[in-house]
């Protein structure tokens, strides 16, 4: 009973319809009005020829297409003349804000607005207009814990991925995220995960699903009018799960292009054997491996989860509004934690870890620090604030990913040898020199310019246990032997 009392009220299409209808019914003819909805690019019944007439719906294209044919519907007629001002994206399916004077319409009980302005708005505004239905951080965690049965770190990463990634200056990527899980030996667990994610994906509105379908065709049984509506969501906040089992083997090109450029959120169970040389493993924020010793994931089909999908979208879009971008100052804490983690992991794991961090490996250092910042951004969006704990959470997820791939490396000795050979191409032979150059590589990896100052490098060597004289001598040797050069006095850059 206590849990039922705490259950959040679902944001349903029926509620939006009633609120819209009540708003226009309360107004008297001649009242000024400002109202938002989705533009339907068809004339209403018996429209006069003295102006342009459109219709406005409180429901999105997908909600209109799903609504029962006998269910209550409501529309507002828009009258636009040469005096009506248009701004932003205004086309069939667009979410718009209309300002004008309310009036009666000549047919049935429809009402009309003499529009003075029609302003195209971002699709996210539709959800943010209902921010009182947003879920708390704990409510989201509880909802997924009761619904998605996964390893804890995988489930958390799945939740973070749904929030997308804030814009990071200097990156060419968008707001997308790749939650990727590879199989190991047997595929039953991976296919169970695919079915679970597919169920979640099918519960989302069409507007936030990445599909090839560009237009929805909708028939209104009462008005006798059909609508062709485009997708109002032009953002990267679209989700993709392979719709067929074949798609878990390889992504279609149109989807792969969007996902790899981070222009969509890919929830990707990969029904292929985990390979440390896999390109997707290298560029995914969370390239997990599903080990056969783990309990098979599954999705609990429950009514509460389906009812609260709109509330979850309200939550995602309101949190996205709070954190649209992350600058370098905010991500510095991730870089510092990452550098510490690299040193600890080399000491703990030795050569297998070095193999994973080779340029072609799944933990490529330069890529992984950038992907770690993106994961950090998603965690911060979920939490609603920037904290050092979020950077530690990135570290914990990285550790879980490394543990997965350590298991895989044992079964891929040839790939491990190849990665180690690649790693040692840019690391000199002696242990002391190797350690020093690893530190320089780490510092360069977290630098946007790929440069490190002499002062910072020497300070880090001393902090790591080198004497000042040994640190200076090693640096001069690196420059003399061609590992490092100085493009400007006091600036160091690695060669290769």
CATH number, domain of 17, equals 2.40.50.140
- Say what the pLDDT of residue 482 is: 56
Residue 8: pLDDT over 80: no
Give the C-alpha separation, 383 to 263, whole Å.
23
Q: What is the DSSP string of 306-371?
A: HHTHHHHHHHHHHHHHH--B--HHHHHHHHHHHHHHHHHHHHHH-HHHHHHTSTTSTT-HHHHHHH
**pLDDT of 65 higher than 60:** yes
Domain presence at residue 4? no
| Residue 128, in any domain of the structure | no
- C-beta separation of 396 from 332 below 8 A: no
- The answer, yes or no, to whether residue 6 has pLDDT greater than 60, is no
Q: Where are the alpha helices (DSSP H) in 384-453?
A: 388-410, 413-424, 431-445
Question: Which domain CATH number covers 298?
Answer: 3.40.50
* Statement to judge: residues 401 and 447 lie in one domain: no
Task: Name the nearest CA neighbour of 442 among 349, 388, 347, 369.
Answer: 369
Considering 100, 121, 142, which residue would you say is the last residue of a domain?
A: 121
Closest CA to 448 of 335, 358, 364, 282: 335
pTM: 0.87
One domain, residues 269 and 330: yes
pLDDT digits (tens, 9 = 90+) for 190-205: 999 999 999 899 999 9
Residue 43 Cα to chain centre, angstroms: 38
Model confidence at 397, in pLDDT bands (50, 70, 90)? Answer: very high
Higher pLDDT, 397 or 358: 397
Rounded to 10 degrees, the C-alpha dihedral 388/400/441/160 comes to -50
Strand locations in 61-214 (E): 76-80, 85-87, 95-104, 111-121, 148-149, 177-183
Strand partners, 80: 52
| Domain-embedded: residue 230 | no
Domain CATH code at residue 446: 1.10.10.10
Domain stops at, among 121, 147, 169: 121
Residue 115 sits in the same domain as residue 195: no
Q: Note whether 65 and 203 are same-domain residues.
A: no
274 and 169 part of one domain: yes
Beta strands at 95-104 and 32-40: parallel, antiparallel or unpaired: antiparallel
Query: What's the mean pLDDT in 405-427?
Result: 85
Query: For the residues 55-74, what does the mean pLDDT come to?
Result: 90
Same domain, 110 and 139: no
Strand, coil or helix: what is 444?
helix
Question: How far from each other are the two terminal CA atoms of the chain, in whole angstroms?
Answer: 64
Residue 269 has pLDDT above 70, yes or no: yes
Q: Which candidate, 460, 454, 451, places its Cα nearest to that of 495?
A: 451
Q: Are residues 377 and 471 in the same domain?
A: no
- What CA–CA distance (Å, rounded) separates 154 from 467? 42
- In this prediction, residues 413-442 reach a mean pLDDT of 80
Question: What's the CA gap between 306 and 310, in Å, rounded?
Answer: 8
Cα–Cα dist 469/383, whole Å: 46
How far is CA 361 from its chain centroid? 23
Interatomic CA distance for residues 420 and 424, integer angstroms: 6
Residue at 198 is within a domain: yes
Compute the average pLDDT of residues 123-149: 93
Query: Would you say residue 240 lies in a domain?
Result: yes
The angle at the Cα of 240, spanning 248 to 213, to the nearest 5 degrees, equals: 110
* Same domain, yes or no: 283 and 356: yes
* Strand pairing category for 451-453 and 491-494: antiparallel
Q: 337, 353, 444: which is closest to 387 by C-alpha?
A: 337
Judged against a pLDDT cut of 90, whether residue 268 lies above it is answered with: yes
State phi, psi for 236 to the nearest 5 degrees.
-80, 0
pLDDT of residue 219 exceeding 80:
yes
Q: What is the SS3 assignment for 183?
A: strand
- Regarding whether 273 and 171 lie in a shared domain, the answer is yes
Number of domains in the chain: 3
Question: 76 versus 343: which is more confidently predicted?
Answer: 76
Q: Taking all residues of the chain, what is their mean pLDDT, rounded to a whole number?
A: 89
470: buried, middle or exposed (CB in 10 Å: 19+, 13-18, 0-12)?
A: middle
Band (pLDDT 50/70/90 cuts) for residue 438 is: confident
Q: 17 in a domain, yes or no?
A: yes
- Length, in residues, of the chain: 496
Angle at 50 between CA 223 and CA 24, to 5 degrees: 50
Nearest alpha carbon to residue 153 among 296, 341, 348, 286: 286
2 — pLDDT class (breaks 50, 70, 90) = very low
140 and 271 inside one domain: yes
For helices 309-322 and 365-383, the axis angle rounded to 10 degrees is: 110
155-169, 235-249, 362-376, 437-451: range with lowest mean pLDDT: 437-451
Could you say which of 379, 410, 441 is where a domain stops? 410
Shared domain for 460 and 483, answered yes or no, is yes
Range of the domain at 469: 429-494
Lowest-pLDDT range, 15-19, 88-92, 169-173?
A: 169-173
Domain-located, residue 92: yes
Question: Do 262 and 318 reside in the same domain of the chain?
Answer: yes
Residue at 227 is within a domain? no
- Report the alpha-carbon distance of residue 176 to residue 164 in Å, rounded: 6
pLDDT for res 21? 92
């Amino acid at each position: 009973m206590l849990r039922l009392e705490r259950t959040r009220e679902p944001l349903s299409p029926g509620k939006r319809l009633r609120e819209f209808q009540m708003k226009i019914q309360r107004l008297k003819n001649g009242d000024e009005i400002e109202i938002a909805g989705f533009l339907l690019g068809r004339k209403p019944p018996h429209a006069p020829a003295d102006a342009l007439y459109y219709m406005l719906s409180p429901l999105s294209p997908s909600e209109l297409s799903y609504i029962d044919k006998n269910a209550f519907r409501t529309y507002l007629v828009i009258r636009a003349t040469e005096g009506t001002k248009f701004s932003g994206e205004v086309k069939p399916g667009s979410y718009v804000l209309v300002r004008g004077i309310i009036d009666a319409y000549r047919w049935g009980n429809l009402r009309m607005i003499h529009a003075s302005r029609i302003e195209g708005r971002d699709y996210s505004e539709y959800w943010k207009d209902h921010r009182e239905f947003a879920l708390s951080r704990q409510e989201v965690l509880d909802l997924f814990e009761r619904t998605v049965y996964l390893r804890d770190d995988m489930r958390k990463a799945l939740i973070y991925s749904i929030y997308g990634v804030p814009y990071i200056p200097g990156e060419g990527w968008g707001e997308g995220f790749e939650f990727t899980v590879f199989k190991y030996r047997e595929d039953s667990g991976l296919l169970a995960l695919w079915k679970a994610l597919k169920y979640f994906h099918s519960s989302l509105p069409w507007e936030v699903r990445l599909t090839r379908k560009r237009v929805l065709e909708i028939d209104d049984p009462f008005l006798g009018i059909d609508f062709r509506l485009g997708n109002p969501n032009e953002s990267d906040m679209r989700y993709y799960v392979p719709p067929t089992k074949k798609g878990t083997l390889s992504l279609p090109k149109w989807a792969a292009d969007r996902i790899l450029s981070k222009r969509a959120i890919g929830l990707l169970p990969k029904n292929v054997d985990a390979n440390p040389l896999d390109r997707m493993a290298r560029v995914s924020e969370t390239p997990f491996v599903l080990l056969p010793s783990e309990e098979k994931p599954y999705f609990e089909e429950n009514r509460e989860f389906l009812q609260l999908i709109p509330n979850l979208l309200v939550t995602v879009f309101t949190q996205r509004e709070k954190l649209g971008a992350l600058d370098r100052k905010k991500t510095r804490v991730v870089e510092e934690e990452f550098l510490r983690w690299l040193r600890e992991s080399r000491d703990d794991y030795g050569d297998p870890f070095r193999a994973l961090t080779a340029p072609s490996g799944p933990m490529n250092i330069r890529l992984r620090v950038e992907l770690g910042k993106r994961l950090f951004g998603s965690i911060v969006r979920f939490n609603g604030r920037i904290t050092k704990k979020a950077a530690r959470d990135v570290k914990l997820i990285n550790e879980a990913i490394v543990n997965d791939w350590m298991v895989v490396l044992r079964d891929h000795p040839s790939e491990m040898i190849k990665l180690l050979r690649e790693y040692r191409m840019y690391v000199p032979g002696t242990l002391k020199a190797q350690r020093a150059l690893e530190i320089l590589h780490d510092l360069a990896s977290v630098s946007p310019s790929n440069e490190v100052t002499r002062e910072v490098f020497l300070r880090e060597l001393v902090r790591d246990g080198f004497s000042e004289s040994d640190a200076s001598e090693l640096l001069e040797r690196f420059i003399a032997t061609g590992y490092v050069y100085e493009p400007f006095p006091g600036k160091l850059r690695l060669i290769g």
